[in-house]
Structures are given as structure tokens and as C-alpha cells.
Amino acid sequence: MHSDPKQCLYCTNSFQNLMIEICHLRVSRLFLFKEQTYHGRCLVAYDGHVNDLNELNDQQRNDFMADVAQATRAMQRAFNPEKINYGAYSDKLSHLHFHLAPKYVDGPDYGGVFQMNPGKVFLTDAEYDEMIAAIKKEL
């Protein structure tokens, strides 16, 4: 499936109800999920409207994966999860992006697959700002 960039939430910047943009990296944007069941959950979305990782040339792919690694290093230092799960799902939205879900030993779904949008944990603006500052400090 190839989605239309005019209908893409990343290309049209229609993500405000789901995520907060943290910053621009090499070839992508880093976002903090508003739903924080998985404390520190972020997402990295490729700048251009690319449907799949295999559509990138070697340099673009390497730059994108370097962005993903940079984001997860910052998340690891900022929140100290036991593990960070990676999800690259695009069944309904074919814009290259990776979900980055920190997992904690006594936390939700540890040892299993993270839920896409459990809809349980939302924070105050000040708490989001604090998390974003912690991530930015570690980038």
C-alpha cells in the first residue's frame, strides 16, 4: 500500500493529538508520544514520504538508522529502561517511521509486544516538557 502524502499525518503535520515534535535529526524527526503507558515512548519518522525502508538508498538508510540509534541512546540515558522495543508498522499509513517503546521489568507488557495505543496514561504539559528536555539533553 502506498499512501498519499496529502493524506499523511507526518507530511501534513497532523499529529498534534498523538505526538509532540522534539527535534529534527539527520534525515528524520523525533517525536514524543502523548500516550505514555511506556514511559519515554518516542517515534522517529523519515523526512520524505517514503513508504518502506527498502526504498531508501544505502546512505539514506544508514542516516535514518543512525537517527533511530541516536534517539534510543538518548531515551536509554534519560529513562533507563530495561529494553527498548522497535516497531515498524505501516499497514494503514505508509510513511517510514519506527515506534520506540521503552520497556521496564515491572512495567506494562514486559516480555511481550507493546500495545500501539493503550489510551491509559496521559501527562500534563509540564510533564511532557520535562521528558522532552531530558531527551534533548541526551541527544
pLDDT along the chain (139 residues), means of 10: 76 89 98 98 95 95 98 98 93 86 96 92 98 98
**CA 102 – CA 118 distance, rounded (Å):** 14
Q: Please tell me the pTM assigned to this model.
A: 0.94
Total number of domains in the chain: 1
- Structural domain of 120: 5-138
| CATH number, position 52 | 3.30.428.10
Q: One-letter amino acid identity for 122?
A: F
DSSP string, 22-50: EEE-SSEEEEEES--SSTT-EEEEESS--
**The pLDDT value given to residue 6:** 78
**pLDDT tens sequence across 36-60:** 999 999 999 999 999 899 999 999 9
